[in-house]
A and B are shown apart, each in its own frame.
Chain A
């Protein structure tokens, strides 16, 4: 069974803290994604990675960085958390290839920055 897990369901941090959100998939997928979900805005891509150590910026990369040292793990880093980064963060993964690009999602991390 396909599985994407995220390190925390709920997280509360203070302004200025460094925040790590981790995502692990067990499907040997090449592609991994970090999204931010806000009401009325749908999902917005922050970063995605198509291979180990490879990354590409999405629509809203400012204030975020990512790390992919192993194929199964993709981390999102908030270098200095701010209140406007309070949101739901979703991780997803998919196989590389045009016909097999269904994205599988983790349960999400609801981050509150005080």
Chain B
């Protein structure tokens, strides 16, 4: 069975600095998607970034980038120039690309605190 592990329940970073959130996963499949979602306090969960496993290039969205290490089954999120609005719960998620099951497998989440 696939699993997703986020080993850091909470992280803090000074505003304007860089922080990396860790995620590891376990799967026997070779074709899948990985996601980072953000859930700000009392606000809706939104997609931050996604990575297709067949792509070697790491995905980037403005200040957010990933370090995808397929052999190590690692998918970390780097946030550069942290801003107060980045404070949120961050969830890593996995989905197998094949079949008709659209289920995401979720990590437990990392709470990111931004210090002004």
- Is B44 part of the contact surface with A, judged by Cβ < 8 Å? yes
| Interface of B, helix, strand, loop or mixed by DSSP | loop
Q: Closest CB of chain A to B111's CB: distance in Å? A: 10
- Is B106 part of the contact surface with A, judged by Cβ < 8 Å? yes
In the bound complex, residues from chain A placing their C-beta under 8 Å from that of B106 are 42-44
B97 and A42 contacting across the interface, CB-CB below 8 Å:
no
**CB interface residues, B 34-82, toward A, < 8 Å:** 35, 43-47, 50
In the bound complex, residues from chain B placing their C-beta under 8 Å from that of A108 are 44
A90 and B108 contacting across the interface, CB-CB below 8 Å:
no
In the bound complex, residues from chain B placing their C-beta under 8 Å from that of A31 are 102
| Interface of A, helix, strand, loop or mixed by DSSP | strand
In the bound complex, residues from chain A placing their C-beta under 8 Å from that of B45 are 90, 92, 105
Residue among A33, A43, A58, A106 with max Cβ neighbours from chain B (10 Å): A43
In the bound complex, residues from chain A placing their C-beta under 8 Å from that of B4 are 42
- Is A89 part of the contact surface with B, judged by Cβ < 8 Å? no
Q: Indicate with 1 or 0, residue by residue over A27-38, a CB within 8 angstroms of chain B CB atoms.
A: 000010100000
- Is A75 part of the contact surface with B, judged by Cβ < 8 Å? no
A98 to B102, CA, bound (A): 9
Please name the 5 residue pairs, one residue from A and one from B, whose CB atoms are nearest each other, closest first: A105-B45, A42-B106, A43-B106, A42-B108, A105-B44
What are 23 A-B pairs with beta-carbon distances under 8 A?
A: A33-B102, A40-B9, A41-B108, A42-B6, A42-B106, A42-B109, A43-B106, A45-B103, A48-B103, A50-B102, A58-B103, A90-B45, A92-B45, A94-B102, A101-B95, A101-B102, A102-B35, A103-B47, A105-B44, A105-B45, A105-B46, A106-B44, A108-B44
